[in-house]
Structure 1
Amino acid sequence: MQPTMDEEPFRQDDLIVRPVRPWTPGVHALLASLPLHGFDAAPKPDGFDDVWERVTYLPGATGDLGDCAEMRSKQILQSAARLLRRYHHSSALVLRDLTVAWPWQLPPRLPSEVICHGDFAPYNVVLNDGEVIGIIDFEAAHPGPRIWDLAYAVYRWAPLSSSVAVEGLDSLATQIQRARLFVDAYGLPVSERSSLPAGIIERLEALLAFMEREAARGIERYRRNLQDGHDRIYREDIAYITKWSPEIVAGLRN
């Protein structure tokens, strides 16, 4: 059976199976190379054919910020940032050694310092014993600057959004505090933090353009996203971050 472009991944014993995409070879090359450079917190590739790809299942808890108090804890937030830093260190070495110009779902960006995860959000990590111990779903991986990946991670983990429906995370002060904890744990130099709000805005604008382009191509997932108002939320968040950018920068630096 030929899968559709909207087919969801599913678990099969100790594997996660999803349809093959044009970027699958690059993602599998990345996942195969990460352990060679000291990173063992990602799925291992288990091959692909003309229809399906398979990666190993990472055991542990998954969810989003609204699912449980543990996911919103300081310990989880900081361990996520530290794991992202480890991933960036290893993926920079993978990128250095790449000999094939693989196609990626998202366009590479310059300067290409690391292979960005592309969607490092709470719903794409695995928890165990109060720590983030794994990263999943590398479909959006692509070469780019580390700040490009970090900006989107901060946006999702703080979360810097005007439409947060999670109790305790809906105030700007709390969001800035969590953003500060994240960049501190990641180890982002203070001198680089002023550019973070602008980086988030640019990343969201790129996401909007991608969604609209894919919807125009007839990809049902993105057509549904637009119908459900995801684009409106991102535009509201762009306005929110733009408005409060001086306060965000001050909170990240001071």
Structure 2
Amino acid sequence: MVATLLHETPLRGGDVTDGVVRVGDTVRRPKSPSTPAVHALLRHLEAAGFAGAPRVVGFDEFDREVITYIPGSCGITVHNVAEDGLRSLAGLLRGFHDATEGFSAQGWVEGSNDDRAPEVIGHCDLRPENTIFHRGSAVALIDFDQARPTTRLFDVVTTLRHWAPIADPLDRHPLLRGVDVGARLRLFCDAYGLPPRDRRRLLDLARLRFHRSYDVMRKRADQGGAWAAMWAGGAGERIRRAAAWLDVHEDELHAHLV
């Protein structure tokens, strides 16, 4: 049991989990059905020597999970979305995937996924809010609530959805509105070391992910709570616009990949 003696500072940025606070050098989060699987994963990553994830401390007197706080910045900034930032993110994701090969545990969440056999544990929600940067380099992944067994390519696609980004310019952050998406896809895939067979399949899998994530989010929204709020805020429409934008620009994006 970890006692809470210091001031609690709310941490914001996530769409689904409420009640996340910083207490000293730790983060306290409400338990969820995925907590046991996530803790097993984080302990595995620590044992494997992967430095880019929080460490499990335990639970506090309010039965909240306690993990270590990782200093740095998150979200979209000029430095974080620059080429060096994107390149470092690809390397961090590759290191995470390599560290999870062969790991298995029960209790993973269900969500949109690839049809192929799982190869690794994917983060599956590597948005800017879930990536910690230090001096323009990605140093850690946080918030593993959506993690699950999947393929490397599916997690790459999910990451590029936000970081390339594969999205209608209407829905992009102003700093990403005018970027060359195809060039950013190529840069990330090069830095990750994605093989040609996966690059040829990347856009098809992105389209499949759009359709499946739309269905998954709509079903979760029916249950109410944060998912319903996201849906009411236009999440479904943004997915549809991203899929339509991909249909229009697929050929030019594919040319960068192959």
1:96-124 Cα shifts (integer Å, max 9, x gaps): xx3x4x11223576411000001112221
Does the CA-based 8 Å contact 1:160-1:176 persist in structure 2?
A: no
> 1:230 pairs with 210, 231, 235, which one?
235
| TM-score, structure 1 normalization | 0.87
What is the CA distance between 1:214 and its match in structure 2?
1.3
Query: In 2 relative to 1, CA 203–51 (structure 1 residues): closer, same or farther, beyond 3 Å?
Result: farther
Residue 84 (structure 1) aligned with residue 73 (structure 2): no
The 3 A distance-change label for structure 1 pair 165 and 237 is: closer
Bigger shift: residues 231-240 or 206-215: 206-215
Question: What residue identity is the alignment partner of 2:152?
Answer: R
Shift of 1:8: 3.3
Aligned amino acid, residue 18 of structure 1: R
Distance 1:168 1:7, change over 3 A: closer
Residue segments in structure 2 that go unaligned for 5+ positions in a row = 1-15
Once the two structures are TM-superposed, the CA of residue 222 in structure 1 deviates from its matched residue by 1.2
Partner of residue 106, structure 1:
110
One-letter amino acid of the structure 1 residue matched with residue 25 of structure 2: D
Query: What 5-or-longer segments of structure 1 have no aligned partner?
Result: none
1:199 to 192, 197, 205: 205
1:240 equivalent among 223, 242, 245: 245
Q: CA deviation at 1:239?
A: 1.2
Equivalent of 1:13 in 4, 24, 34? 24
Q: Distance in 1 between matches of 2:69 and 2:174?
A: 31
Q: d(CA) in 2 for partners of 1:75 and 1:199?
A: 26
Structure 1 residue 168 displacement after superposition: 5.4
Asked if 1:169 is matched to 2:176, the reply is: yes
TM-score normalised by the chain length of structure 2 = 0.86
Contact 2:132–2:138 (Cα < 8 Å) also in 1: yes
Alignment check: 8 A CA contact 1:118 1:149 kept: yes
Alignment of 1:1-254 (within 5 A): 7-48=18-59, 51-64=63-76, 68-93=77-102, 95=103, 98=104, 100=105, 102-107=106-111, 110-162=116-168, 163-167=170-174, 169-171=176-178, 174-218=180-224, 220-253=225-258
Q: SS at the partner of 1:70?
A: coil
Give the residue type in structure 2 aligned to 1:7: D
Structure 1 residue aligned with 2:9: none
CA distance in 1, matches of 2:110, 2:257: 28
Q: Is the 8 A contact 1:61 1:126 kept in 2?
A: yes
Distance across 1 between alignment mates of 2:201 and 2:17: 35
Specify whether residues 36 and 6 from structure 1 end up closer, same or farther in structure 2 by C-alpha distance, changes over 3 A only.
closer
Describe the SS at the equivalent of 2:28: strand
Task: Give the RMSD, CA atoms, in angstroms.
Answer: 1.9
* Inter-partner Cα distance in structure 2 for 1:168 and 1:26: 35
Judge conservation of contact 1:106–1:141 (CA < 8 Å) in 2.
no
Q: Whole-Å Cα distance in 2 between the matches of residues 240 and 141 of structure 1?
A: 27
Following TM superposition, by how much is the alpha carbon of 1:6 offset from its aligned partner in structure 2, in angstroms?
5.3
**What is the percent sequence identity of the aligned residues?**
31
On the 8 A contact 1:168/1:174 being kept in 2, the answer is: no
How many correspondences in the alignment?
A: 239
Question: Which secondary structure does the structure 2 equivalent of 1:212 belong to?
Answer: helix
